Amino acid sequence: MCHGELGSSLENEMGRGRYGSGRHTMYLSVLNFYSDPEEVFNLAGLLEGLDCFQRFWIGEHHSFGQVPDPLSLALLIASVTKRIRIGTGAVSLTFRNPYLVAETALMAELFSPGRIDLGVTRASSVNDEMFELLTDGANHNRVTDDYDRRLRVLRNALARDTDFKDLFLRGVLRRGPPLYLMGMSLDRAKQAGQMGLGFVTSFHHGGTVDSIREMLAAYHASFLPSAIFENPYTIVVASGYISDDPTRLQSARDSEDKIKQRAAGIYLRHEMIFDAANPAAMRLRSMGAAVRTDEMMFLCTSEDCDPCYRALAEGWGSTEPA
């Protein structure tokens, strides 16, 4: 199993606001899409006890059996865990008022200081009917084109770099939780750098070693220190399933093949991991090293994630560099 000191050292570093400060350790975290809210609670307890995982992020999806409000759920999970960082991967600013998101994030930071992460993105995929419900009938193009302004409002509120006179908890908190921008383009990478945010990109959403390496290089080149991040920090998502049981692995591969058939051309997913614990952990480390990221975040693509994360923890600890 992994060494316990990694979690505490990262938490201390983040508490000082010194992200990406030249450490060579590659951190490991988990992103969850495919579990219902009750199962997410169970997974949080599991990951809390597996000390190699630095954070647990929850995605926003407006589909049956998934989590529609990850920030509120993160606040609840943080209240029943003690070590692991809890965050969103990601809140969709297309469907959320940025000022209200800032208020909720500040409240979460107040009650769980140093343990909340706020990842945001433009939008999750929904059909036209769901889009109209979520935006209360607002014009589709106007809402999606307003993303950059919404991001600036949220960023300025969390950094306390704003002229809002009545911002929630003004004077109580020096700043809100770390804000990460999730994106799959050079423009988003540069935007995250220029705004002094953390940047998250993904193999799961079609990234390749070359495209991700290019995005991370652009992010670092454009990074300007901010009240949120003094130094650049990157996270890269990889997905698949990990098990020493060949039957479980084959079932996970079959499920992924069915998804690819139904969603042909949407997400190419050039790089995925379906393997036993130790080779999977080595593959994950190699992917992170190839793109030069600070942290890898693993997304289990099966509904049966408990044994997958146990296997990943075992493999990560067994392959940990001296």
Report pLDDT digits (tens) over 113-158: 999 999 999 876 666 776 676 676 677 677 677 889 999 999 998 8
For residues 251-267, average pLDDT: 76
Q: Please indicate, yes or no, whether the overall pTM of this predicted structure exceeds 0.75.
A: yes
Question: How confident is residue 251, by pLDDT bands cut at 50, 70 and 90?
Answer: very high
Position 2 scores a pLDDT of: 66
pLDDT digits (tens, 9 = 90+) for 157-196: 888 776 655 555 555 666 789 999 999 999 999 999 999 9
63-98 pLDDT, tens per residue? Answer: 766 777 889 889 999 999 999 999 999 898 888 889
Burial class (CB in 10 A: 0-12, 13-18, 19+), 229: buried
Q: Structurally, what CATH architecture does the domain formed by 5-16+25-318 represent?
A: Alpha-Beta Barrel (3.20)
**Domains of the chain, residue spans:** 5-16+25-318
pLDDT digits (tens, 9 = 90+) for 24-64: 579 999 999 877 788 889 999 999 999 899 999 998 766 76
Tell me the HSE value of 34 on the side-chain side, using a 13 A CA sphere: 17
